[in-house]
Amino acid sequence: MGVLQAVRERERGLLGVEGSARHDRMPTSDILFAGLINGLMAGGIYVLVAVGLTLIYGVLHIINFAHGSLLMLAMYAVFLLWRKPLGLDPYAALPIVTAGAFAFGYVLYRGLIGHFSHGKDENILLITLGLSIVIDNAALFFFTGDTQTIDVAYAGRMISLGPALVALPKLVSFAAALLICLLLGLLMTRTDIGKAIRAVARERRGARLVGIDVERVMATSFGIGIACLGAAACLLMPTFYVSPSSGHAFVLIAFTIVALGGMGSFKGALLGGLLIGIVESIGGLWLGEQLGQIGIPLVFILILLLRPTGLFGAAR
Amino acid sequence: MTWARTILIGCGVLALIAYPWVFSSNYASNVGFLVLFAAYLGQTWNIAGGFAGQTSFGHVVFFGTGAYVSTILQATYGVNPWLAWPFAALAGAFVGWLIGVLGYRAGLKGSYFALITLAVAEVGRIVANSVPITKGGLGILLRADPRPSNFQFTDPVWFYYLALALCLSSMLIAWRLKRTRFGARLAAIRENEDAAQALGIDSFREKVKCLALSGGLCGAGGTVYVQKYLYIDPSIAFGVDKSVEMLLVTMIGGAGTVAGPLIGSGVLHLVGEVTRDLGGMLPGIGNAEPLSIIVYGAVLIAIVAWLPDGLIGLFSKRGGKARHA
Amino acid sequence: MLEVRSLTKSFGGLAAIDQVSIDVGANEVVALIGPNGAGKTTLFSCIAGFTRPDAGSVLFLGRDVTGLPPHRICAKGIARTFQITQPFARLSVLENVMIGAYHTTRVRREAEAQAIDVVHQLGLSRQLDMRADALTLAGCKRLELARALATRPKLLLLDEVMAGLNPIEVEDIVREVRRVHEGGVAILLIEHVMQAVVSLAARVYVLSNGHIIANGSPEQVATDPVVVEAYLGHGAAARLTRASADA
C-alpha cells in the first residue's frame, strides 16, 4: 500500500467522511495546490531519511539497503513508547528515540557492518540486504503483519494554507524535519566531529594520517545516519502508519532521493527529498492511488539511466 | 570429468527420480517440487548473477512477466497453456533484453545495476496492481480443470517430475554454457570487464544476451508456478521475496557453479524446516514462518562474509587449483 | 602499420598529449619512453580505444580506427597489456589464455589447443591449471603477454611490462618479447627499464609533457641533450657536458 494512500485513509478517519468529501469537491487547481503542499510536507520528512542515507554513503561508501527497515524499526519503537503504560507523545519522544537510534547505529556498525565496509560495494549491499531481511521478519514475528497507528489528540486539527487544508502534525513534522537538517548542517560545519567526518568522507587515508580515529568517525557517521531515522520516525508516526512491510516502501523512496540528489550530497538530499515528496503526491493525484506509486521507481530508473550522478553528485 | 564424478551425478539423478516412489505422499511431492523449482529459478539467476557477475535484486520481474503472460493468455483469451508457455518465456527474454540494453548502455554495473533491477520489478508490481488486464490486486484465479492437456495435474507427483526436468535441464544448460565461448566470455566479463574488452569481447552484447537468456528461462518458470498453484497476484509475481530466494539459494550453494542452486535450495529448505519445527516447539509461538526467514537473512550475511564462494567453495581445492570458471 | 597523427587529449583543461604523431612499421619494435606524467599511458589508452582523443587520428593498416571501442580495436589486430596486470583472477591460467584464443575461433577444443601452445611458448606450462591470482608478478606478466598473444594480433601494445621485475626476470621477458616479435608481430612498448628498451627497440620516441621531443635509435636518443633535459631538468645537458669535459 502506498504511503499516500495510507495518509488519505487516515485523513478520512480523522476528518470524517464529510471532511474528506470537502476535499474532493474542491476545484482542480486547488486540489493541485493541496497536493503540492501535502507532498512538500511529506518531502520534508523524506529529506531527513535521505540525509541519513547519503551521509552513510558519502562517508562510508556503503549503500545501506537496511535503511528502510531500520526506519520501520524506529517507528515501532515510537509506537511502543506511545502505548500504555508509557504513553509518550511522539514529539516528546524525539530526543529519546534519536539518541537510542544513534546508539543502535553505532553498535551495529562496530559489531557488524564495519567489518565489511572495506570490500566490494556489492558485498556490503548484500549484507545490508540480509540485515533488512532479518529486521523485517523480526518485526513480522514480534508485531504480526497488522499495521499500527498512533492517535494523538491534535492529529485532527487542520491549518489552512491558502486553499489547502493541512493536518497540524504534518506541518509540525515538516518544520521539525527542516530544523533537524539545519542542526545537522551546523554539526557538520561548526563542530570538530563534523569536520572529522567530512575529512574522512573526502580522503580517508589522509584523515588517518592526521590522527583522526577513522573507525570511530565511521561508526559515528553511521550512528548519525540512523539517528536521522529515529527522528524521522517520531515525525512520521502522528500521520503515517507502520507495518513490517514499511521498510521496503521506504527504502526505494530513500534510494530514489539520494540518486536524484547525488550520492553523498546534502544539498541533493534536501532538494531531492522535497521533489520526491511532490512527485509522489502529484503522481497520486494524477494517476490515482494505485498507479500513482509508479512515480518513484520510475524517477529512480530515469535518473540511473540518464544522469547517474544525480543533480549534485560527484562524477564517479 | 572423472568417472567418480559421473557416477556420483548419475546416482544423484536416480535418487531424485526415485524420490516420489520412496516418499509417496502428496506432501513429499509438494516439498520436492518447492526445492527443485526454487533450484530452477535460482539457476536462472545464476546465469546472470553467478556466471556473468550481474547481481540482480529484481529477477522476479522475469518470473512475474512470464506468469502473467501465460495466465492472461489462458484466462482471458482461452489459449492453451502449453501453447502460452513459450510466449511467457519470450516475454521474460524480452524484458531481460530491454533491461540489458537500457541499463548497460547507461553503463550500469555492480550495485547500481542491482538497484535498477529492483526498481523495474517494483514498476512491474505497481503496473500489475493497477491495470484491468491483470485484474489488479485481486489477482487472477485459474479455473481448476486438471487435465494434462490443460497443463494441470491432479497428482502433484507430475509437477514434481516437471520441476525435476526443469531443474536438470537448467543444470545441463548451465554446464554446456560454461564449456562454450559464450560462457567463457561471461566469466571473463565477471572477473575483469576492461581486460575482457581488450581481448576482443563486446561486453555490452554478451551481457544483454546473458540477461535475455536468464529472463527467458525465468519467465518460463513463472508459467509453471501458476499452473501448479492456479493463482497469481502482483505481490507473488513481482514481490521482492522471490528475488531474494533466487539470489539466496544460488549464493548459499555457490554462485557460478552448476550444482550451486540445487545444493543451496536443498540446504535452505532444510534449514527452514528445522527452524519452523524448533520455532513451533517454543511456547507461545503462533506463526514460526518469519523465524525461518530471519535465519535466511542471517545465512545470507554469513555466506557473504565468510563463504563468498558458497558451500561448494568449501569443497573445491584451494591454493592454486582453479575453480574452473 | 600504425600511424598516429596529431593526437590530442586533455583532461580538465590540461593537455595530457598534444599533437602527438608516431609511426610503427610492420616489422618494428618501437619504444615509447619519457618521464612520469609525460602522457605515455594516455597515448596508449587512446590508441587502444579506452579513451577517446579530442583531436587527431589513429590509422591502422591504412584504416581509421580512431575512437573505436576496445573490442573493435582488438578485432582489427591490436592487442594490449595493462600496466597493472589485469588477470581473470579466479580462472586458471589456461582459461585466461583461452579467452584470448576464443577471439579467433568458436570451437572450445581449438581454443584450448591454441592456448596451450601459447602458454607453452611463454613458459607457463607448469602453471596451466593454477588460479591466475596465485601467480607471482613475473608469472602475471607472462600471463598478460600470453593472453594478448592468443588473440593473434598484428600489433602488440606493451604497457610497462617490465615494471616490478628483477633483472633476471627482465632478461627472461625480453627474450619472450623478442621471440614474439620474430613470430611476426609488431610491437610498441612503453618502458622505463632501459635495459629492455636498448635490447628490444630499433627506434625510440621520447614523450615529455605531452609532446614528442625526440625520435631515433636508442643510442641517439640517450645522448640527445633535449632528452637529458626532459629527464634531469633544465640545464642538465650543459652541466653534464661540462662535467665530462672537466674530467
Domain over C2-218 is classified CATH 3.40.50.10540:
no
| Structural domain includes residue A315 | no
Res A7: pLDDT? 54
Domain that holds residue A162: 3-306
The full set of domain ranges for chain B reads 3-315
Res C100: pLDDT? 95
Distance, CA of B219 to CA of B124 (rounded, Å): 13
- Chain C residues whose CB is inside 8 A of the B181 CB are 102, 106, 108, 111
CA dihedral A36, A71, B269, B176 (to 10 degrees): 60
Res A14: pLDDT? 46
Tell me if residue C139 falls in helix, strand or coil: helix
Indicate the pairing of strand C211-216 with strand C203-208.
antiparallel
Distance, CA of A310 to CA of A304 (rounded, Å): 8
Instruction: Report which of residues C82 and B285 the model is more confident about.
Output: C82
Instruction: Report which of residues B263 and A17 the model is more confident about.
Output: B263
pTM for this structure?
0.89
Nearest by CB to B116, from A112, A120, A304: name it: A304
| Structural domain includes residue A224 | yes
* pLDDT of C246 above 80: no
* pLDDT of B207 above 90: yes
- Chain B residues whose CB is inside 8 A of the A288 CB are 130
Q: Which residues contact B95 (CB under 8 A, 6 or more apart)?
A: B61, B62, B65, B120, B215, B219
Contact A297 B290 (CB under 8 A): no
Instruction: Name residue C33's beta-bridge partners.
Output: C206
Q: Which residues contact B281 (CB under 8 A, 6 or more apart)?
A: none
Which residue of chain B comes nearest to A293, CA vs CA?
B126
Q: How far is A43 from chain B (nearest CA, A)?
A: 20
Distance, CA of B181 to CA of C99 (rounded, Å): 8
Tell me if residue B129 falls in helix, strand or coil: helix
| Structural domain includes residue A98 | yes
* DSSP 8-state symbol, A309: T
- Maximum average pLDDT range among A14-23, B16-25, C109-118: C109-118
Q: Is the CB of residue C16 less than 8 Å from the CB of residue C174? A: no
Which residue of chain C comes nearest to B201, CA vs CA?
C71
| Structural domain includes residue A314 | no
Q: How many domains does chain A have?
A: 1
Q: What is the mean pLDDT of residues B85-108?
A: 96
Residue A133: how many other CB atoms lie within 10 Å:
27
Q: What share of chain B is helix, strand, coil (3-state, %, to 5)?
A: 75, 0, 20
Res A6: pLDDT? 54
- Chain B residues whose CB is inside 8 A of the A131 CB are 297, 301
Whether A and B touch (3+ CB pairs < 8 Å), yes or no:
yes
- Chain B residues whose CB is inside 8 A of the A308 CB are 106-108, 112
Per the document, the length of chain B is 325
Res B192: pLDDT? 94
DSSP codes of every residue in A66-88:
THHHHHHHHHHHHHHHHSTTT--
Q: Which residues contact A246 (CB under 8 A, 6 or more apart)?
A: A68, A71, A72, A75
Give the type of residue at A159: I
Res A16: pLDDT? 43
- Chain C residues whose CB is inside 8 A of the B195 CB are 82, 86-88, 147
Of A1-15, A249-263, B51-65, C11-25, the poorest mean pLDDT is in A1-15
Q: b/e string for A194-232 if b means 16 or more Cβ within 10 A? A: bebbbbbbeebeebeeeebebeebbbbbbbbbbbbbbbb
Distance, CA of B169 to CA of B162 (rounded, Å): 10
Q: What is the mean pLDDT of residues C158-180?
A: 89
> Which of the other chains make 3 or more beta carbon contacts under 8 angstroms with chain A?
B
Question: Could you report the per-residue pLDDT of A167-181, keeping only the tens digit for each?
Answer: 888 888 888 888 888
Q: Which residues contact B84 (CB under 8 A, 6 or more apart)?
A: B69, B70, B73, B74, B223
Q: What is the architecture of the domain spanning B3-315?
A: Orthogonal Bundle (1.10)
Res A314: pLDDT? 62
Contact B110 A121 (CB under 8 A): yes
Question: Could you report the per-residue pLDDT of B112-136, keeping only the tens digit for each?
Answer: 999 999 999 999 999 999 998 888 8
Give the type of residue at B291: L
Q: Could you give phi then psi for residue B271, rounded to 5 degrees?
A: -60, -40
A144 conformational bin, left if phi > 0, alpha if psi -120 to 50, beta if neither: left
What is the domain-level CATH number for residue A45? 1.10.3470
Indicate the pairing of strand C155-159 with strand C78-80.
parallel
Question: Could you report the per-residue pLDDT of C90-110, keeping only the tens digit for each?
Answer: 999 999 999 999 999 999 999
Res A5: pLDDT? 54
Q: What is the mean pLDDT of residues B70-80?
A: 92
| Structural domain includes residue A316 | no
- Print pLDDT tens along chain A (316 aa): 455 555 555 555 444 444 444 445 445 787 888 888 888 988 988 999 999 999 998 888 888 999 999 999 999 999 998 887 788 888 888 999 999 999 999 999 998 888 876 667 778 889 999 999 999 999 998 888 888 888 777 777 888 877 777 888 888 888 888 888 888 888 888 998 899 998 888 888 888 888 888 889 999 999 999 999 999 999 988 888 899 988 888 999 999 999 999 888 888 889 999 999 999 998 888 888 888 889 999 999 999 999 888 887 765 4
Residue A45 is placed in which grid cell?
Answer: 520528512
